[in-house]
Structure 1
């Protein structure tokens, strides 16, 4: 029996009831008036078989979506979770599709499992399930962040984060609390975790955090790693394992540890600093290690001892994670970074020369981009300034520059008499003469005719009217 599109759409409404066990096939058949075999055929088929459209003479009719099917498949290959409403919107806007959203939706439901299988992605029915895995001692650790919110807001600290690393074999935990998730803090927490465990695991599992992954890529493509993450992993000799997108169960052991620490260490307590929070975790660790884990049914501390022995040894020197920037040198031999100024030796640089800044949480190191004859690039190292607007200067960096102390000034050939040595009466008398109008009117001024000036210059007398001409 071939269902009409109307009857088929009506039957689709019962699929959820059947899968949840609320209705049986027989009950659905009675409700719809269809044969039980027909109900079984359409409800149990993968993706629910779409009934073919037929003309009155029994021939199949072409659907509008069939013409756009390759285009929809390409959209799903680019983004397997793209919504049917988005696909319909793009088809209408960009490709002048005139079909209904319902038709696109039905096709997407049929095509998504097929495309997912082509891409090697789990079908929707298995998306909520995962395969449990076990590892040997020392083989793996998992890392995650926790957001602890405003637990120290009354102390002026707006946000507190918890860093977690859990050894996968024993579930032995490490946690520390920070006020930042930047690059230096992230790997500084790693060093603290390695010291806590006494070694380095062979592999560390991460999600796609920006301190590990440089940018996101499509499924199946190689993940580009952050250069500092690669350098840090190479120095401590462990492999980076980045989870696929939307796979939080891949590091479920550390995800669970975030909640355990929040409940057993932080809940119901007040702290005044992150150091107190770290101390609270450290005092809780022996209690945790004395417990039997529900999964492997062993004492966590006993299993952790085997885990610690299998870890790789720590390198003799720590790896310093640094921000790297290029900055120009000013004419005052100062380099701007982070809103502050840092000095470099005047004899080793020139104005506008580019220098490389390598900044850690505690220091700022300035390097030349070209090594000197001995192969050295370090120009200066300063403690990192707190806040903004500071000048961190080493006075020896300005050796050889003019100090301005040898300059001389003059006001003329006759040295000016100091103000305090002038006679007070003389200064007061001159001031009164200037301000006294009576004294000014008594000054005698000579008066002579303009013809005197004409005779002296040899020019003709200037007249404006015969009556005003002078007579000799």
Structure 2
């Protein structure tokens, strides 16, 4: 919008015979602006903007009803539906009409009441992901983070995936780390944990393997509501804390070095002053929560017993999670079954155990038993020496040089 004084100057300079280009350069306005006001003649010198379009009370009520039902919270759809009903309203008009109710609804959905649990009552679990450089290569690491809700003491374990076995192994490791089992275990709706939910009755169907694991450890599984991740806000915050503080942009020489760093960092995290409780989590745990946890089961069922079928490669190795394990070379190109445990890998050909290895967590590592290659190694020839072998005559007390000297005397 051009000021009235500029408009008067444009017309005064034009009356003196100035061209539009010269006036625009002199007053530092666009040439088309000069021409528009020169063509205006007797039009008003001040531009008048039209007032904003507003819906009446009935129109606003109808717009809100459409917004929350048929339109699915889409103002474009509401504007189209209103036009079909004979009400002219732009998308921006609809947005202004429903702004107050939308703000109230958003505040009601976003508002939360902090829920504090009794000691030993609940542990929250969640997975987070972060790309970490391991051995100079970017690697996506999956971090299982567990938090005791009362003391805020946390546990974190790194994996290369988020399969059912990884969930169970990480949760069991957290129980052992804390030295006890809480009463309830709150997680999200990951497919490894939850296989179904009835929204009408709020009934959750847990994965059979996960439910059996919880029964074995004596803990009650729970799942937060759909799209209500803040229900487990303690572990949500802990995941961010682990990624931003525990790992940040650090690099590691190996996966073992990453695990060692996390183990040392957890000790440090337990000693910090927590922002909510204003106490170190370890102090709060020792004072209030350790005695409230249930004891660990005496003989728990193995949490990881994954069975995989693999074909033996020409180099007598089978591949499991980027790690290659050796088998007897006679099984090359045969199909074997790999039993992947928490710390051990067993390989079967039919019902016969043909190989046993300690499980490796290093990316692209090779775990080899040399006995599996017996019969394939070629014997290396003995190295040549510069000293000639001894003569058989030396055993009789004479050397060839002695006979050569006698022959020379006879010839002379």
**Shorter-normalised TM range:** 0.5 to 0.7
Of 217, 233, 258, the match for 1:277: 258
Which protein has the larger Cα radius of gyration, Structure 1 or Structure 2? 1
Q: How many residues align?
A: 283
- SS state of the match for residue 206, structure 2? coil
- SS state of the match for residue 214, structure 1? strand
Task: Verify: 1:52 aligned to 2:68, yes or no.
Answer: no
* Alignment check: 8 A CA contact 2:67 2:74 kept: no
Of 108, 114, 127, the match for 2:109: 127
Q: CA deviation at 1:283?
A: 1.6
Of 155, 177, 188, the match for 1:174: 155
Distance 2:158 2:134 in 1: 11
Q: Which residue of 1 aligns with 2:120?
A: 138
Q: CA deviation at 1:326?
A: 12
- Residues 230 and 51 (structure 1 numbering): CA distance in 2 closer, same or farther, change over 3 Å? same
- Residues 323 and 219 (structure 1 numbering): CA distance in 2 closer, same or farther, change over 3 Å? farther
Task: Verify: 1:342 aligned to 2:336, yes or no.
Answer: yes
- Residues 293 and 215 (structure 1 numbering): CA distance in 2 closer, same or farther, change over 3 Å? same
Distance 2:339 2:199 in 1: 32
Distance 1:326 1:285 in 2: 33
Of 232, 237, 240, the match for 1:259: 240
Of 225, 230, 236, the match for 1:249: 230
Distance 2:196 2:152 in 1: 30
Deviations 1:151-199 (A, max 9, x none): 32724x6311211101111111111111111111121111111111111
Distance 1:230 1:101 in 2: 57
- Residues 359 and 282 (structure 1 numbering): CA distance in 2 closer, same or farther, change over 3 Å? closer
Distance 2:194 2:356 in 1: 27
- How do 1:394-413 and structure 2 match up within 5 A? none
Distance 1:134 1:255 in 2: 15
Q: Taking structure 2 as the reference length, what is the TM-score of the superposition?
A: 0.54
- How do 1:58-457 and structure 2 match up within 5 A? 83=74, 85=76, 123-152=105-134, 154-155=136-137, 158-215=139-196, 218=199, 221-305=202-286, 306-321=288-303, 341-342=335-336
Distance 1:381 1:172 in 2: 42
Gaps of 5+ in 2: 1-49, 310-318, 321-332, 365-412
Q: CA deviation at 1:238?
A: 0.9
Cα root mean square deviation, aligned: 4.9
Q: CA deviation at 1:103?
A: 9.2
Gaps of 5+ in 1: 1-31, 34-41, 43-48, 54-62, 115-121, 328-336, 344-356, 367-377, 388-472
* Alignment check: 8 A CA contact 1:172 1:301 kept: yes
- SS state of the match for residue 151, structure 1? strand
Distance 2:191 2:353 in 1: 28
Q: Which residue of 2 aligns with 1:410?
A: none
Q: CA deviation at 1:88?
A: 8.3
- SS state of the match for residue 277, structure 2? coil
More strand by share: 2
Structure scoring higher RCO (CA < 8 A, sep ≥ 6) equals 2
Deviations 1:342-391 (A, max 9, x none): 37xxxxxxxxxxxxx9876756899xxxxxxxxxxx9677769999xxxx
